[in-house]
Amino acid sequence: MHKTYLIILTALCLLLVGAATAAAFGEIRYPDRPLNLRADRSAQARWVGSLHPGQKVRVAFMKDGWVAVFEPGETRADESAAVGYSNVRYLLPKPTRVEPETWGELVYTPRKLNIRDASSINGKLVGSLEAMERVKVDFPEGDWVMVFRESATIRSQMNALGYCAATYFEPVTAGASGTQAAQPAEDPGASGGAEVRGAAVTPPAVQAPPVPQPAAAAQSPAPESVAITDASGDWGKVVTLQREVSLWRDRTSGSTQVRTLKAGERVRVDFLKGGWYAVFEEGEVLRSENRALGYALRALVDGEGGDADAPQASPAPASPEPASSAQTRPEPARPESARPEPARPEPARPEPVQPEKTAAASGGERQTLVMDRSRFSGAKRPDPTPDKNAHGYQYRLLEKSETKKYGVTWITLKVFLSTTKLPDSNQLKDFSTTLWNEHRRAMRNLVVHIYLPGMDTDDISYGVVSFDDKAMLELWVRQVALFGTKFL
């Protein structure tokens, strides 16, 4: 009997040890730098995500210097649960530095929603989200986003549950889930979940703001009318542009221009900061600045100052009555010699500003404007003092910033290049590549804006060289930026 008890006790101990081992497989490691995650054990394998310095992860299944990376709380000792692979040499037992980085957007779905294995309605159905379930979304692809558990800590495509239509998500805000809890009852029989271009009752449930009663949201008209007549939507505001508006990559005209919107287009704007709006598609539902098309000046979007241009395009229909009265005024007014003189310079004022518009309206040839540069002598600030050397050039790093656009993080460098000779494309490429190698980080794009002596460093740059984390993407120069310098 004693032996039987001993055998049973030994078996129980072995089971407990085995369970503890299964719960704590592998070991905890920390990246010592921004680290890429790959789909396989190779630096040439497909990129799937990244880790930030000091991030806590679990690693196991080491082979050829590469380990499978898991969520730190993962208990399944199964390589299929890995979220990617990394080189073990950069994963240390203790963190040497910590640079936390947020990723994704926390959202919820007001109704049941399908999860697919591809960013298409034709993708294979791999699961579904329940109504009011909270998840993280990232890696947008058109109208689709990758969906992650709310508890996910590792940004990797292999960590995603799959793809969902972004249209049916709402951003999680304080008190947002309480007032909309009754909305899913509107679609009790939706066993298959929602998709893009789903049933007509779906968009009203998504578009309904948290404050109004759910019943009122359910009675809203067709989805088209909701998108058009609701000028504010759940967030931001929808505007109709009165003129052409340029969109820029950052909140400055010194950044790269990404698009030009035409007069009459309808867009959604939000995140007003420093006089700049973030601009979105009119039908954008996900309130995330990462989804912005670009940035535009508030004065152009709201039409401030636009009236000054409008009368020039339509003086004829509005001026018959004022013209007659204007003609009668000079007749009784005796100082005729004084009045025509100030009246003549007035039409001349717009000419330096709008020479091309005047030429286009009259059907004549394009005008060339000659300016007296001596009038601007001494008006510019002195050039920055260079403090570094690279490729035979003295330079100074004026500014370094980091922004996130369209789901991609961009590092922007503003550099003053001290030179007496205009650099050619190869020289700009070599110089910018050196800066890229110095400032590059995993999964970040980088753009270098180069300014030359005599240029206004608060205006557009002469050279623009952009890179991803692997190679140069593009290089271009703007000759017009050299106006007023000794180079032009």
In a domain, 437, yes or no: yes
Q: What band does 370 get if pLDDT is binned at 50, 70 and 90?
A: low
Boundary of a domain, candidates 257, 276, 306: 306
Best mean pLDDT range from 32-41, 206-215, 297-306: 32-41
Q: What band does 117 get if pLDDT is binned at 50, 70 and 90?
A: very high
For the sheet containing 257-261, what is the strand order? 237-240, 266-273, 276-281, 294-297, 245-248, 257-261
Boundary of a domain, candidates 179, 210, 229: 229
Residue 105 has pLDDT above 80, yes or no: yes
pLDDT tens figures, 134-186: 999 998 887 888 999 999 999 999 999 999 998 889 888 754 443 333 333 33
Q: Which residues of 336-359 are buried (b: 16+ CB within 10 A; e: fewer)?
A: eeeeeeeeeeeeeeeeeeeeeeee
Q: Are residues 157 and 248 in the same domain?
A: no
d(CA 97, CA 69): 19
Q: Are residues 114 and 144 in the same domain?
A: yes
Burial (CB count <10 Å: 0-12, 13-18, 19+), residue 198: buried
Question: What is the number of structural domains in the chain?
Answer: 3
Q: Are residues 170 and 220 in the same domain?
A: yes
Closest residue by Cα to residue 234 from 270, 197, 261: 270
Residue 100 has pLDDT above 60, yes or no: yes
Name the H helices within 221-297.
223-229
Closest residue by Cα to residue 390 from 369, 413, 418, 361: 418
Closest residue by Cα to residue 149 from 74, 215, 212, 92: 74
pLDDT tens figures, 315-354: 444 444 444 433 444 444 444 444 444 444 444 444 444 4
Q: What band does 408 get if pLDDT is binned at 50, 70 and 90?
A: confident
Q: Are residues 118 and 138 in the same domain?
A: yes
Task: Note whether 233 and 287 are within 8 A (CB).
Answer: no
In a domain, 343, yes or no: no
Average pLDDT taken over every residue of the chain: 75
Q: Are residues 393 and 474 in the same domain?
A: yes
- Region 267-275: mean pLDDT is 88
Residue 452 has pLDDT above 90, yes or no: yes
Q: What band does 374 get if pLDDT is binned at 50, 70 and 90?
A: low
In a domain, 57, yes or no: no
Task: Note whether 365 and 359 are within 8 A (CB).
Answer: yes
**pLDDT at 470 (0 to 100):** 80
Distances (CA, A) of 420 to 393, 454, 486: 10, 11, 9
Q: Are residues 225 and 241 in the same domain?
A: no
Boundary of a domain, candidates 276, 306, 336: 306
In a domain, 323, yes or no: no
Q: Are residues 427 and 456 in the same domain?
A: yes
Q: What is the CATH number of the domain that holds 425?
A: 3.30.300
Q: Are residues 211 and 262 in the same domain?
A: no
In a domain, 160, yes or no: yes
Q: Domain residues for 471?
A: 388-482
Strands 84-87 and 66-70: antiparallel
Q: Are residues 198 and 293 in the same domain?
A: no
Q: Are residues 218 and 130 in the same domain?
A: yes
**pLDDT at 388 (0 to 100):** 86
In a domain, 242, yes or no: yes
Q: Are residues 277 and 190 in the same domain?
A: no
d(CA 248, CA 296): 6
In a domain, 35, yes or no: no
Tokens at residue 338, please?
A: 């004084």
Burial (CB count <10 Å: 0-12, 13-18, 19+), residue 123: middle
Q: Could you give the maximum distance between any two Cα atoms of the chain, in Å?
A: 132
**pLDDT at 255 (0 to 100):** 79
Q: Are residues 139 and 199 in the same domain?
A: yes
**pLDDT at 217 (0 to 100):** 35
In a domain, 365, yes or no: no
Q: What is the CATH number of the domain that holds 289?
A: 2.30.30.40
Q: What band does 8 get if pLDDT is binned at 50, 70 and 90?
A: confident
